[in-house]
Homo-oligomer: A and B are copies of this chain.
């Protein structure tokens, strides 16, 4: 069994209203110095050792993200 992380983020050129809402609210809460915030999705998958990297990329691209507006990063992590 392996643990895989997939992080899905809006493409840089895509407007990120959620991230902007967070960045805008932080100074009002007394937190200064945060220049930019972007918000995306974080997936943690437990997969059999039979699942190879190519399959993980297909899952990330075809199912966990929308390739038109999002980028993804797949990482195998130590358990």
Tell me the A residues contacting B by CB distance below 8 Å. 1, 7-9, 19, 22, 25-26, 29, 31-48, 50-51, 55, 58-59, 62-64
Contacts and interface: CB of A to CB of B under 8 A. Distances in A.
Contact of A33 (B36, B50, B64): B50
A65 to B, nearest CB: 12
A32 B22 CA distance: 37
B44 A42 contact: no
A36 B47 CA distance: 7
Query: Which residue, of A19, A44, A48, has the highest number of chain B Cβ atoms within 10 A?
Result: A44
Contacts of A39: 41-43
A18 to B, nearest CB: 9
